[in-house]
A and B are shown apart, each in its own frame.
Chain A
C-alpha cells in the first residue's frame, strides 16, 4: 500500500479559554524565502516563521504561542501581532527587536511555520502549498537544532549536557516578565 499525502504537521492544543490550536510545519531547502518573509512581515500571511536552529522541542514553541494567545485575548501583548508575539515570547529577554531578529527568519533555508488554528480559521491550507521547499516530519526537528547556538541565545553556555535544557529554556521564557535574565 502506498501512503500518499501523510500529514507531517504537529498540533498542540493551547489554553482551553482561547479555543486555539498550534499547528507546526517544518520545511527544509526553501527556495522562496524572500516572498514568504515579505508576506509574513506585512501581515498578509497569518503565521510565524521561526528559525528551527533555536528550537529544541515543539513544546518550546507551544509555551511561547500559549502566552501569546492568552495575552492577545487580554489585550496585554508587547508586540503588534500575535505572530510576532510568539517570537518575542520565545526569547528570554525583553528586547523586542533583538528577539524578533534572533528567532525570526531572514535568508534561512529551513523554516518552522506556526499557525494558530481556531474552529473557523486555519490559514495553513492556503499558505502551505505556496512554500517551495521540502516538508519534513517534526521528528526531524533535532537535525536542524544547533544546541550550541541555542545555549548561547538563552545564556546557558555553562550548562553541562542537554537533558535539562528544555526545562531551563521554558522556565526562563515563562518568567521573563518579572525576572531579568
Chain B
C-alpha cells in the first residue's frame, strides 16, 4: 500500500476524512466538499467559515487543556485541514456499543466527558455538534497499533479527544451552552437508547467539575430548552 496515497476513512454529509502520509507523519486530511444545492459563492463562504471555526476552536481547546489533534496546515484553497492522526483511538460511540454499560469503566468515560465539556464551556467554546462519534478515547501515549485496550482505562492511561468543530463558536452565551448540552442528550438518546443513564452521569460530572460553580444558569437554560423540546415532541 502506498502510504502517500490518501485512504478514505470516513465519508460524512459535509466532509471526507482521509489518512495520508504527509510531512513524514500519518496525517488526517479533512476535506469539505462542495454542496451542489448551494450557490458556489455561498458554498465557498460557508466552507471557509467552517474551516476557520474548526481550526480556531481546536487551538483554543489546547489552551483550555482539552486534547485535540495538532494542526499541520489549514488550506482554504483546497478546502482541507491537515491534522494529527490519532491512530490508536476508539470513538465514544464505538466504546459504548462494544463494551456497554456492563463495562466497569463506563462511568469513568462518562465522567471524563462531563468534565471535558465543562472545561470547554468555561472557556466559552460551544461545540455545536456534540455526539458520541465526535469524541475519541486515546491512550496518553500513542502506540503503533490501531487497537484499543479497555484495560488502559483502569490505569488512568487514557484521555478524551474532542474533534469535529466545524459548527463551533467562541464567546458563547449561556443559552448556547444549554443548547449544546441538549444536542448531546438528543444524540445520545438516539444512538445509545439502551443506556439512559449515560447522559445523566455526564451531566452530573459537568455540574460538579469546577468547584468555583457558576453553572446554574447554564443548567437552567438547558432545562428550559429540554422542556421546550419535550413539548414540541408531544405536539409533533
Contact = CB atoms under 8 A, between A and B. Distances in A.
Please indicate which of the listed interface residues B58, B62, B84 has the most CB atoms of chain A within 10 Å of its own CB. Answer: B62
Task: Specify the main secondary structure of chain A where it touches its partner.
Answer: helix
B25 interface: yes
Please indicate which of the listed interface residues A16, A67, A175, A177 has the most CB atoms of chain B within 10 Å of its own CB. Answer: A175
Nearest to B52: A178
Nearest to A171: B71
A174 interface: yes
Contact of A13 (B24, B62, B84): B24
Given A16-B4, A74-B77, A167-B70, A175 B59 contact: yes
Question: For this complex, into which size category does the number of interface residues on chain B fall?
Answer: 10 to 19
Contacts, number: 57
A166 B73 contact: no
Interface in B21-67: 22-25, 52, 55-56, 58-59, 62
Contacts of B70: 166-167, 170-171
B167 interface: no
Contact of A59 (B23, B71, B75): B23
Contacts of B62: 164, 167-168, 171
Please indicate which of the listed interface residues A16, A166, A167, A171 has the most CB atoms of chain B within 10 Å of its own CB. Answer: A171
Interface string A107-124: 000000000000000000
A67 B25 contact: no
Contacts of A14: 23
B59 A59 contact: no
Given A12-B23, A12-B24, A13-B24, A171 B59 contact: yes
Interface in A43-79: 59, 62-63, 66-67, 70, 74
Nearest to A174: B71
B74 A59 contact: no
B72 interface: yes
A48 B70 CA distance: 25
Please indicate which of the listed interface residues B22, B24, B56 has the most CB atoms of chain A within 10 Å of its own CB. Answer: B24
Contact of B24 (A16, A59, A70, A170): A59
Nearest to B60: A179
Interface string A144-169: 00000000000000000000101110
B73 A62 contact: no
A172 B59 contact: yes
B209 to A, nearest CB: 19
B56 A13 contact: no
A168 B72 CA distance: 11
A172 B58 CA distance: 10
A174 B73 contact: yes
Given A63-B72, A170-B71, A179 B56 contact: yes
Given A171-B59, A172-B59, A179-B56, A62 B24 contact: yes
A74 B71 CA distance: 21
A175 B73 contact: no
B72 A174 contact: yes
Nearest to B23: A62
Nearest to B55: A175
Contacts of B23: 12-14, 59, 62-63, 66
Interface of A: 12-16, 59, 62-63, 66-67, 70, 74, 164, 166-168, 170-172, 174-175, 177-179
7 tightest Cβ-Cβ pairs between the two chains A and B: A167-B70, A174-B71, A171-B71, A62-B23, A12-B24, A175-B55, A171-B59
Interface of B: 4, 22-25, 52, 55-56, 58-59, 62, 70-75, 77, 84
Given A63-B72, A164-B62, A170-B72, 15 more contacts: A13-B4, A16-B4, A66-B23, A66-B72, A70-B73, A74-B77, A167-B62, A171-B58, A171-B70, A172-B59, A174-B74, A175-B55, A175-B71, A178-B56, A179-B56
